[in-house]
Structures are given as structure tokens and as C-alpha cells.
Amino acid sequence: MDKVKKVKVTLIPGDGIGPEVSLATQRCIEAAGVTINWEVVHAGTEIMEKKGTPLPQDVIDSVRRNKIAIKGPVTTPIGSGFRSVNVALRKELDLFACLRPCKLYPGVKSIDEKIDLVIVRENSEDLYAGIEFEAKSKEADTLVRVIRELDPKARFNLHPAISIKPISEAATTRIVRFAFETAIQMKRKKVTAVHKANIMKFTDGLFLKTAREVAKEYEGRILFEDRIVDNMCMQLVQRPAEYDVLVLPNLYGDIISDLCAGLIGGLGVAPGANIGDTIALFEATHGSAPKYKGMNKANPTAMILSGMLMLRHIGETKAADRLENAVAKVLKEGRSVTYDLKKDRHDPAAVGTSQMADAIIKAMQ
């Protein structure tokens, strides 16, 4: 097979099962016909012991330099001072959009027969902005007093912990426009804004109002609608085929993307990407599962499909199609798959991480 072109990509293998699924992904990407110049850098618990931080500066520098990165799952060390390595990367690199396609492939167990959704989650604001005040702290008590001065009707129990939920027109405009542009690029028909504006009239209300304004720019090209988040959860379970691209604030996006992952077989088959104006970082949505480290047991599908998204992002459409079709073939056949993809999780015919990658590579030949 002819190699297409050489691209420099930052690879963060991660820890736990990360190195295993990352290696499987490297092999599958290269077998798809793209030669990658991998710049390997490390984040997580193991590098913490050597450098005193789970996210060394050389990781950030590498991603900034190469503009394209793919990351295995990373454990955030307890007591490291980091809320999350993943969140820190998104903030540091201004990766404002989390893209999570949720597509059901034949052969994977599901409550439905056809699911093909795209979740677009805003990454920078909402309750995940990290503006919190500890219960009984001077700052929390001061904030309570200030809020009571601003709103005499406000009611608090004694010494509450408080989180602040910022939603801005600027960030909402950016993420909703990204959702519409993604819909156009992926040849989708509809964007649905998900919110709780019936209760949070100023924060979610601003999100909805802004989404409606942005939607006017796409009239005649992409349909637009909105749904209240709790109703959206029910709709996704009952009638997922009615939805296409969902755009959500940070917290709802996190919850809904996991719900949708459950609809397509679980986090083991759910790819993801975090995208900014100039930088894109691709990653599986599952965790590092340290208890399975080195056991050649983890399902590599989510990471491999994240690699497929990366190939599409850099314009390697044919290679991406080749890789996705091979993954789909292996999943449909159901023979060379890991234990979690078998009808019986104790099926002795289940294969390991590397063997599933072997089958995907063979399917591309």
C-alpha cells in the first residue's frame, strides 16, 4: 500500500491501559496508509514520580508545536493539585469544543438498531469552570452575604459549599457555530440545543437565546430545535434516531455523551476529540482502568476510532474510511473482539488488545 504523506503528531500514551490501546491505535493508523512521525511525550501518574507533576510542560509544548495530538487515558494522581489532567489540557490549549460521535456499529449490543449521533460539548464554562468555594470557608460565607445583599429573596442553608456557573454569549456563540459547521462538514441535517432554560433563566436562558441567534445564520441549510435536558435524556432512550447533532453546555454535555455511549455499547467504543481554533487533541472517552494494566485485555476500539477522527481532521479521508470500515467489519463478525464485546463476557474465544488490532489491520489488507 502506498503511503500518503508524513504528518507529525504528538502521542501521549497515558497510563494504566493507555500504552496498550495507544500502541494498537498507532499500528492501525499506519496500516491505514498514513505514515506518522510520532512525537511521544508522557503525562499521568508514572511521570508524576519523575517530574513532580502529572502534566509536564513538554507535553503542552509538543501539542502546541504540532497542532495535532492523540492521547491515551490518563490517571490524575490523587493529591497532585490537579482536578484533572484532561481538563488542564483543554484549558491550557483552549480546546473549547468536545466532539463525541456516538455511532452504533452492527454486532455491538444495544437497545436500538440504528444510532448515529454527534455530541458537541462546550469545554470552558458552566459548573466545570472550577469556580468553587469550600463549605465553612471565609470565601463561601462572604459570597453568601454578597448574594443576599444582591437578592434578598435568596435562601441558603448554613455554611453551604458553592459553585459558580458562568455562561457567556461569546463562548456559547463559538460552540454553537462549531456545532453547525460540524453538521455541514459531516452532512448532517439538524442541530439540537440542549438546556434547562425553564429553570435557569439567565445562564441556560442565555445559552438558548444565543443558540437561536446563531441558528438564524444557517436557516435553509441546517434545521434547528431545542430540548430541555431531562426530556432530552428520555427522548434519546426512546427515539434516538430522531436526533442528529446535539450542542450542550459543559455539564450536560458530559452526562449526555456518556448516556449516548451507553446506547452504542459503552465507553469502550466511544471516540472523542477536543478541538480549538488551531489545535486538536483526540482521545478515547473512557478511563485508564489501572487494574487492567499490562493484561492485554482492554478494548482498543474507542482509541482506534479516535485515531480515525484524527485522520479525518487532517484530511486523510480515504485512510479514515479504510480504518473505520475495518473496525466495523471486525465488530460485525464478532470473532476477534475483546471480552466486553462478546455476548458472554466470559467467552473464552475473546481476544486481547493486540490481537483485536491485528484483526483490524488484516481487515484493511
Q: Cα separation of 104 and 91, whole Å?
A: 31
Annotated active-site residue 128? The verdict is yes
User: What are φ and ψ of residue 35, in 5° steps?
Assistant: -90, 120
The residue from 94, 230, 277, 347 that is catalytic is: 230
The closest of 279, 267, 273, 292 to 352, measured between CA atoms, is 292
The residue from 15, 254, 258, 358 that is catalytic is: 254
Strands lying side by side in the sheet with 245-248? 35-40, 6-12, 68-71, 280-284, 271-275, 97-103, 116-122, 245-248, 190-195, 223-228
Counting other chains too, the contacts that 47-50 makes at CB distance below 8 Å and 24 or more residues apart are 48/77, 48/80
Contact 77, 308 (CB under 8 A): no
**DSSP state for residue 290 in the 8-state scheme:** G
Annotated active-site residue 254? The verdict is yes
Q: Cα separation of 356 and 210, whole Å?
A: 45
Annotated active-site residue 321? The verdict is no
Q: Cα separation of 267 and 262, whole Å?
A: 7
The residue from 128, 218, 243, 252 that is catalytic is: 128
Q: Cα separation of 194 and 308, whole Å?
A: 27
Q: Cα separation of 14 and 26, whole Å?
A: 14
- Do the strands 223-228 and 162-163 form a parallel or antiparallel pair, or are they unpaired? unpaired
Catalytic residues: 128, 196, 230, 254
